[in-house]
Amino acid sequence: MASNVSGAPAGAPVSRKHFATGWTVFAACMMIFGGTMAIFEGIGAIVNDERYVITGNYVYKFDVTGWGWLHLILGIVIVVAGFLLFTGAMWARILGVIAAGLNMITNFLWLPYYPFWAIVMIAIDIFIIWALTAGTHRQETGL
């Protein structure tokens, strides 16, 4: 009985563990980009917290240096999760959705300090979550 390269009998369907493709690769690249931007945002808030101007009175008010550490740590987690997405593992997708969701909430609360940047980061997180959740079905069925 002959066998093919994968070791399965000839004529048997070959199931390969694919490298991450399509929307997962897009999400991974966006996570690496967005996480890097969050790291820069955190470093900027830690190093020079006097440059941020708070406009108006908000219900929540936190120290800018504390926000900087939060953005820095979350940015590192997002970059690592982005690289892990290239494995194509389902747990990496789940980690990516959770990390992007936390980053979206953090940037929503960051709106009073730097509105334009926070809106851009929220949009990136929306694209990441959409790519990680919408891409699963299409990749499995081959559509």
pLDDT value of position 100: 93
Domain count, the chain: 1
Half-sphere exposure of 20 (CA within 13 A, CB side): 22
> Residue 85 domain-assigned?
yes
What are the tokens at 53?
A: 């101007």
> Residue 23 domain-assigned?
no
> Residue 34 domain-assigned?
yes
Which pTM does this prediction carry? 0.73
How far, CA to CA in Å, does 106 sit from each of 44, 60, 99, 140?
16, 12, 10, 32
DSSP codes joined into one string, 60-103: ----HHHHHHHHHHHHHHHHHHHHHHTT--HHHHHHHHHHHHHH
> Residue 90 domain-assigned?
yes
Print the domain residue range for 89. Answer: 30-51+60-138
> Residue 81 domain-assigned?
yes
> Residue 115 domain-assigned?
yes
> Residue 84 domain-assigned?
yes
For the chain, 143 residues long, the average pLDDT of each consecutive 10-residue run is 52 52 86 93 82 59 80 94 90 92 91 87 93 66 50
Pick from 79, 77, 80: nearest CA to 69? 77
> Residue 46 domain-assigned?
yes
Q: Are 67 and 103 in contact (CB under 8 A)?
A: no
